[in-house]
Chain A
Amino acid sequence: MGEGGLNVAMSHDEMHRAAFLEEAAELLGELEEALLELESRPQDADLVNRVFRAMHTLKGSGAMFGFEDVAAFAHEVETVFDKVRCGLITVGKELLDLNLAARDHVKHLLECARQGTPPDTDKGDAILAGLARISPPKAPPPEREGAGAGLPEIPAIPEEPKKLGEILLEKGDLDPQALSAALAGQKRLGQVLVEAGLVASEKVEAALAEQTLARELRDAREQKDKGEQKQGEASIRVAAEKLDWLVNLVGELVIVQSQISQIGAGSGNAAFVSLAEQLERLSGELRDSTLGIRMLPIGATFNKFRRLVRDLSAELGKEIELVTRGEETELDKTVIERISDPLVHLLRNAIDHGVETPAERLALGKDAKGTIELTAEHEGSEVVIRVKDDGAGIDPAKVRAKAVERGLIAQHDGLSRNEILGLIFAPGFSTADKVSSVSGRGVGMDVVKRAIEALRGQVEIDSAPGQGSVVAIRLPLTLAIIDGLQVLAGDEYYVLPLSLVEECVELARDAGDAESGKQIVNLRGKIVSYVRLRDCFAIPGEPPAIEQLIVVSSEGRRVGLVVDHVIGEHQTVIKSLGPLYRDLPGLAGATVRGDGRMALIVDISGLLKSVDRPGS
């Protein structure tokens, strides 16, 4: 069957090239990370080594899979870093800038190779010229071109012939104590040379230091190799497509299993019930571990932003440190891929509008260096990602004035502080006084909000003028399965996302005042407005005398949804309704109930929006 089969039409060559491109993307990521870390720890030999190895692998595999220009370019860069390893060049800002540029250029070359467009060679030449400038004019030390094109230097550990003392000891010609005494009296080579006046003592010191460094390098490398070997054994690369297919199958299995459980419960056959229970447990575990496979730590995404913050703050003349926490927090692969762009937007905003220039900060009595915190953590069944800066913050009065100016609210609208800050997410809103190359065109926060809502997440902002802002993004752990609350309206089943449900109360018909058209109810002293699902979805028939009011929280407000009956919790495997039903307001998808019937999943915020619009 077509849809189940995976694309195997790729030739082996193409597959290898694709695998290389994927590997290269990872290497580039690692390269960037190492270069940025090197900035704060320029002496770290291990980091220098990581850079060298990444470039080296790029060169080697690039040549193997026919990316000659990548290989040639990487070779030049590698040569320079080889000199760094040998201590001929010290790590400095210029070197790092050039290497970051070089990394970008390799990426560009790969991109061109993928799309078959001619690369921009001028840029590459400029980088190489820059590298040539900072690299010492003298020929590089030990040329390793012949032996394996610059393989990392791995000092051979030869099967050394036994030392004289050892042989004598073995033969019993010498006793160990006498040997140690004789050895203690022996002078070391450096000492001998200095005493003979052949070499100055500083030179010997320097040589010794170099030796120590080389040893450390070697040890670190060996350790790293071991670590990598272990990793290689513990994980395999799987096409994302295959995983998606697996998740799909498990979703269907869960549905069939719940049907079996339902039949089992009604059958009264003890053996069958027990089998159904086992099946339930197994498929539950299978579902959890399958979804677990798709989970990735968000750290890789966070690391991508270091570069962004570094480059952007330099461009704007600001000093900003990016602090990340919770890198190990895992999210569904799709979510991770799609959260990157909104986060870039938020970071740009924080850098451009949030954090002030060093002079301004000093004048305000703040540390000249601003801080942006990027954190991720679990909160219940959600993951919360926060972007927090200690910059200027947002002035609600300014936001309000702007919103009035843009006609988003009326002059006298009474809005709470949160509601005012929420206006930032309205389309076409921007408080930036001047438009910069980075942001301020007023397209931004609404895009962020939409992207996050598409991931079934929510975004909120809080800010204190002068102290900074924090934007919190709440995301579901996975997109494939949600905990839902199943309800009945008429004879149609619907599922509400349980995470948004606050409480369910009964609503007697006469309590509401449908005659006046105002649908509000006094809930323990608080006024809650509500809508009937029957009305929203044009469900035929008369509602029962006692309906159920489900209080949900959506975008900071509490709203009631009225249905006929509440059925209960339901592990909801989300299925798309397909392109024919794309953009239906208020519906997020469908799911299959235990009895094989379908239930539609309600998109609460979409539903409320569609109800609000004609009303207001």
Chain B
Amino acid sequence: MDETQKKQDAELMQLVTFSIGDEEFGVDILKVQEIIRMMEITRVPRAPDFVEGVINLRGKVIPIIDLRKRFGLVSRGHDKHTRIIVIEINAMIVGFVVDSVSEVLRIPSSTVEPPPPVVSGMESEYISGVGKLEDRLLILLDLDRLLSHEERETLLSQL
């Protein structure tokens, strides 16, 4: 791989995009392990509210978080578009339920702007930036922060 190619790659961000409600989101493709169809979720009693339960992914126990619930949106039933995005966060594998997964996008990092101080109804600390596409905006999520914040809260509430 020559230098210019490398440089171009560094400037290009590869994102997996998905939608929840009317919003479109993106996460770094390197964080995504796989995308699976909805499967039966086993409820874990006494667990924090934002965790839906666990699934059995080929013999591994993976906690599932419903992003809709997480973002305070009205919960709606799962349909044939519902997907679980399996992501590695802080050496932990977690699945996130999203309404649908759209595509893999490459966007130049120059088109990404820092998050505005207040994003409609969402705490902006999980947002690493906003990508401007030709006809729409893409919210870039930092799931690491989403979870560690939740974990902190959980731990605090248990003290």
Contact = CB atoms under 8 A, between A and B. Distances in A.
A580 B151 contact: yes
A585 B45 CA distance: 10
Interface string B37-58: 0001011111110010011101
A587 B44 contact: yes
Contacts of B43: 492
Interface residues of A, number: 28
A230 interface: no
A154 to B, nearest CB: 52
B96 to A, nearest CB: 12
A539 B60 CA distance: 24
Interface in A574-616: 575-581, 583-587, 590, 592, 596-600
Given A597-B40, A598-B55, A579 B46 contact: no
Contact of A577 (B54, B56, B94): B54
Interface in B18-68: 40, 42-48, 51, 54-56, 58-63
Contacts, number: 69
A578 B42 contact: no
Nearest to B33: A1
B45 A598 contact: no
Contacts of B60: 575
A584 B59 contact: no
Contacts of A575: 60-61
B63 A581 contact: yes
Nearest to A489: B45
B156 interface: no
Contacts of A590: 42, 54, 61
Interface in B48-99: 48, 51, 54-56, 58-63, 92-94
A563 interface: no
A222 to B, nearest CB: 52
B110 interface: no
B104 to A, nearest CB: 20
A590 B63 CA distance: 11
Contacts of B61: 575-578, 590, 592, 598
A584 B56 contact: no
B21 to A, nearest CB: 24
**Among the interface residues A252, A536, A578, which one has the most CB atoms of the partner chain B within 10 A?**
A578
Interface string A557-568: 000000000000
Contacts of A597: 40, 42, 56
A131 interface: no
A539 B51 contact: no
Given A578-B92, A583-B158, A252 B46 contact: no
Contacts of A583: 158
Contacts of B48: 580
Contacts of A586: 45-46
Contacts of B40: 597
A370 to B, nearest CB: 44
A255 interface: yes
A539 B42 CA distance: 12
**Among the interface residues B47, B48, B61, which one has the most CB atoms of the partner chain A within 10 A?**
B61
B92 A584 contact: no
**Among the interface residues B46, B92, B94, which one has the most CB atoms of the partner chain A within 10 A?**
B46
Contacts of B56: 592, 596-598
Contacts of A596: 56
A255 B63 CA distance: 19
Nearest to A591: B61
B59 A585 contact: no
Interface string B126-157: 00000000000000000000000001001000
Nearest to B46: A584
A221 B93 CA distance: 55
The 9 closest A-B pairs by CB, nearest first: A537-B45, A252-B59, A598-B42, A580-B63, A575-B61, A590-B61, A592-B56, A598-B56, A255-B59
Interface of B: 40, 42-48, 51, 54-56, 58-63, 92-94, 151, 154, 158
Interface of A: 251-252, 255-256, 492, 536-539, 575-581, 583-587, 590, 592, 596-600
Given A492-B42, A538-B46, A586-B46, 5 more contacts: A255-B59, A537-B46, A539-B45, A584-B47, A586-B45
